Amino acid sequence: MDLRLQSIGKSFGGQSVLRDVALELTNVQALVLIGPSGGGKSTLLRMLAGLEPPTTGTVTLEGEPLHYHDDDALRRHRARTGFVFQAHNLFPHLTATENLLLPLVQVHGMTQDAALEQIDTLLRRFHLSDHAHKRPSQLSGGQQQRVAIARAVAIRPRWLLFDEPTSALDPEMTAEVLDMIAELRAEGRSFVLVTHQMGFARRVADHVAFVGFGGIPEHGQPADIFDQPRTPELKRFLHRVLSY
């Protein structure tokens, strides 16, 4: 993906979270956002998803600026974005299959038969076929999150946005979900991932941005970010998160 942030600012009720953020990335497949709690990672991701307009500045994806005040353009952008949140946010009363079916039929206008065929392939591909008829409450946390990722992939998005997809999971379920994300990377999908898993960030990212302190104090290749941090903010952050 080609992604450019120009002079991005974001305030909530006069409280500034991001100020004059700039980032220009060309041909990046996996961008990972790390940083302190409350630093603005989710805010930035929601902005990329078209769910939240920046207060100032421009976001440009694949050379096209996002038009936050054009409802049709925003809807199109969201329909081409696969978003996976921290908690899976599957519909509780629907089975796994129905959770995937709904956006395909209602947002993307697929016929039920075509959608079901595609869903079947996808669930098989991610070893979820045995769970197709279960509702979220009948699935483990890891399985729920994998269904949520399959749902994001099902819409054939141009990119995926993951906001701490493993933060509610135990280590084994975390590994299941991270394996799935690593597979998506291997098949060439572009994504932006927010994570507190530094080991995984390093392995999967081709670019890491450190978000916090009102902006992006530092960004670069994973090896540079993790082995040779330059700013005191990033040094302190890594020292803290890597000490446990």
Reading the block at residue 132, the tokens are: 């197709």
CB of 131 to ligand ATP, least distance (A): 28
CB-neighbour burial class of residue 118 (10 A; exposed 0-12, middle 13-18, buried 19+): middle
Q: Does 40 bind ligand ATP (CB under 6 A)?
A: yes
Alpha helices in the chain (DSSP H): 41-49, 71-79, 96-106, 112-125, 141-154, 171-186, 198-204, 222-227, 232-241
Residue with tokens 């939240």: 52
In the complex, least distance from residue 14 CB atom to ligand ATP, rounded to whole angstroms: 10
Please tell me whether residue 39 binds ligand ATP under the rule CB under 6 A: yes
Out of 12, 20, 182, 223, name the contact with ligand ATP by CB under 6 A: 12
Give whichever of 98 and 233 is closer to ligand ATP, judged by the CB atom. Answer: 233
Binding mask 41-80 for ligand ATP (x = CB under 6 A): xxx-------------------------------------
Q: Which is nearer to ligand ATP, 2 or 52 (CB)?
A: 52
From 8, 17, 47, 160, residue interacting with ligand ATP (rule: CB under 6 A): 17
User: For residues 31 and 25, is the Cβ–Cβ distance under 8 A?
Assistant: yes
Q: How many residues comprise the chain? A: 244
Which phi and psi (to 5°) does residue 160 adopt? -115, 145
Chain centre to alpha carbon of residue 98:
22
Among 27, 37, 106, 137, binds ligand ATP (CB under 6 A): 37
Q: Which stretch binds ligand ATP (CB under 6 A): 32-40, 106-114, 130-138, 150-158?
A: 32-40
Total site size for ligand ATP, rule CB under 6 A = 10
Report the b/e string of 212-221 with b at 16+ CB within 10 A.
Answer: bbbbbbbbbe
- Does 42 bind Mg ion (CB under 5 A)? Our answer is yes
Q: Which is nearer to ligand ATP, 99 or 166 (CB)?
A: 166
Q: Hey, is 88 helix, strand or coil?
A: coil
Interaction site with Mg ion (CB under 5 A): 42
Interaction site with ligand ATP (CB under 6 A): 12, 17, 35, 37-43
